[in-house]
Amino acid sequence: TIMKLGQVFPNEKVQTTQGELQLHDYWGDGWGIFFTHPADYTPVCTTELSMVQQMVPEFTKRNVKMIALSCNSVADHAGWCEDIKSYGKLSEVSYPIIEDPSRDLAVKFGMLDPEEKDAAGLPLTARAVFIVGPDKKLKLSILYPATTGRNFDELLRVIDSLQLTAYKKVATPANWQAGGDCMVLPSVKGEEATTLFPQMRIESVPSGKEYMRFTPQPQ
């Protein structure tokens, strides 16, 4: 079955390019991204894993640790990493890649794409992303097909929103980017709102309800 928001991400023991890992231990007290790709030695996946490596400094700055998975073996992953490094002009692939040739994990997390099959006719993993908070609960997920490479700038954008809104009493509006105005949560009422957000401004709307409350991004 597929993961729901708020569900604890299973603490699987996984075999990776960096040896055996327990997912929760790997993520420690920080944030985690678990992402899957259809297959090693394929074009879009190579651009994706290369871009993730280029963005590791951005993820590290945000206390986010990445882990990848496909249905290939660790040996395949290791060989393919040479291609990823060469394509991306990278000195390393520093995040682990999980093997799942049995597809046990892919089935468990609902990540198989029935439209994408390998040479033996077995389904491959879709381009899934799961963002897991320090509480190990699922915060956000995306599921793209094999044909459509992900937008890793959008992943940074949502991480910035998730981290901001986890600690401040705001939410982020449509198409928000880090540094942009935020919305004060409806649960923050009256004086608490004006104390917490002295620069709050309310846009009036025909209903007369005062819920369109903007504030500069809290620091």
**Can you tell me which residue has the tokens 């986890």?**
166
CB of 22 to a second copy, least distance (A): 25
Greatest alpha-carbon pair distance for the chain in Å reads 64
Residue 21 or 72 having the CB closest to a second copy: 72
Selected from 144, 188, 216, 218, the binder of a second copy by CB under 8 A is 144
Question: Following CA atoms 159, 133, 25, 60 in sequence, which dihedral angle do they give, to the nearest 10 degrees?
Answer: 20
Q: Which of residues 21-80 bind a second copy (CB under 8 A)?
A: 41-44, 46-48, 50-51, 79-80
**Residue 178 found at the interface with a second copy (CB under 8 A):** no
Give residue 154's identity as a one-letter amino acid code. E
C-alpha to C-alpha distances, 17 to 54, 142, 163, nearest whole angstrom:
18, 24, 29
**Residue 151 found at the interface with a second copy (CB under 8 A):** yes
3-class SS letters over 100-145? CCCCHHHHHCCCEEEEEECCCCCEEECEEEEEECCCCEEEEEEEEC
CB of 95 to a second copy, least distance (A): 15
The DSSP secondary-structure symbol of 187 reads: T
Active site residues: 45, 135
Q: Which of residues 192-211 bind a second copy (CB under 8 A)?
A: 203, 205-207, 209, 211
**Residue 118 found at the interface with a second copy (CB under 8 A):** no
Strand order in the sheet with 182-184: 182-184, 213-215, 201-202
Within 13 Å of residue 72, how many CA atoms lie on the same side as its CB? 21
**Residue 109 found at the interface with a second copy (CB under 8 A):** no
CB of 116 to a second copy, least distance (A): 9
Selected from 23, 105, 126, 193, the binder of a second copy by CB under 8 A is 126
Question: Following CA atoms 111, 116, 122, 124 in sequence, which dihedral angle do they give, to the nearest 10 degrees?
Answer: -40
List contacts with a second copy (CB under 8 A): 1-2, 4-6, 41-44, 46-48, 50-51, 79-80, 82-83, 86-87, 110, 112-115, 126, 139-154, 157-158, 161-162, 165-166, 170-176, 183-184, 186, 203, 205-207, 209, 211-213
